[in-house]
Amino acid sequence: MRNSRIEMAKIAGACGAEISGVILSEIDDGEVAEIRAALNEHGVVFFRNQVMDDDQHKALARKFGPIFIHPNYKGTGPDPEIVTIRREPGDTRIVGEEWHADTTMVAEPPMGAILHGLDVPPWGGDTMFAAQWAAYDSLSDGMKRLIDPLRAIHTDRKVAGPRAGMNAHRSTKVREDADWQETISLHPVVRTHPETGRRGLFVNHSYTVAFEGMTEAESKPLLDYLLAVGHRPEFTCRFRWEPGSVAFWDNRSTKHIALNDTGPHRRVMRRVQVAGDRPT
C-alpha cells in the first residue's frame, strides 16, 4: 500500500467534506478505508477533477460493496448498473427534486451512491445534503420516546409507474409501463447506522407516506414535522458542481435534493449505487 496523500476539509458544520489528493480510478485498499471512514463521519464526501469511464466508475463502487440495480430504471438504459441523470433545457421536472434518501421503498435500500458530473452547467444544478443524525439529536427526549418505536411505510408510487407521470416532464425516464408494480416496505423511523451506531431519522418526502398502523391523514402532521426537521438549514451542506466532480453520499444517514435552477443549460450526471442492508 502506498503512503496516502489524502487531505480532507469540511465544507459545513453538520455534514460534508471535500477530499483531495486521490485519484478515484486508482485508489488502493488503504485509501478505500480512509474514504469509508470519512463517509461515516461526514455523511457525504466530494472530489474534484476526476476522470472515470463507465467501467472505472463501477469498479470504484464495487470497492465499497456490490452494485445496486435500481428497479425503476432497469431497462431504461443500456447498462442496468448505471443511471444517467439528464436534465435538458425545457425539462420542468428533474430526478431528485424533493428531499429524499434513495430507493427506500425496497427492503434493503442502497448503502450509498457515487455521482459523477459529466456535463455540468456554468451555474445552477447544485445538490444539497442533510445530516439525519443531527436532525434526530435536535429532538426533545419526549419526541424521541414517541418516534423511537415507530415504523413507516415507504412506497415508490410517487416517483414511478403510470400514475406518477414523470416521463412527460423530464428527460431522465423511469419505468411507467403497465407491468410496473408498486414496491412497499416498512422501515424504522429512527435508524441505527450499522457502522457508526449513530441514530438518525429515516423518513423522506419521495417515499415515506405514513406510519405503520395509521392512515396517511393521521400520520401527516407528525410526518411533516419530521421531514421538515430533517432538512433544517443548520443540518445541511451545499455542493457546487464542476466538470469531473464526484459526490459519494451515505444513503443511511443523509437526505439530499437536486436544485432545478439551470435555466437554458443541460446537466448530465452518471450514478452508480452501492447495495446496502435492512434498516434496523
- pLDDT tens-digit profile of 40-96? 999 999 999 999 999 999 999 999 999 999 999 887 889 999 999 999 999 999 999
271: annotated active-site residue: yes
Among 197, 214, 231, 232, CA closest to 147: 214
pTM (2 decimals)? 0.96
Check 42, 87, 102, 231 and give the catalytic one: 102
DSSP classification of residue 9: E
Point out the catalytic residue in the list 100, 116, 175, 231. Answer: 100
Q: How far apart are CA 119 and CA 45, in angstroms?
A: 20
Is residue 279 within 8 Å of 154, Cβ to Cβ?
no
For the stretch 211-247, pLDDT in tens is 999 999 999 999 999 999 999 999 999 999 999 999 9
Cell 427526549 appears where? 141
> What would the pLDDT profile of 129-154 be if each residue is shown by its tens digit?
999 999 999 999 999 999 999 999 99
Residue 58's Cβ-count burial label (10 Å; 0-12, 13-18, 19+) is: middle
Separation of alpha carbons 60 and 114, rounded Å: 9
DSSP calls for 103-121 = TTTSSS--SEEEEEEEE--
Q: Is 57 a catalytic residue?
A: no
Q: Is 100 a catalytic residue?
A: yes
Which structural domains are found in the chain, ordered by start? 7-274 (3.60.130.10)
232 in active site: no
List the catalytic residue out of 36, 87, 199, 256.
256
How confident is the model at residue 220, as a pLDDT? 98
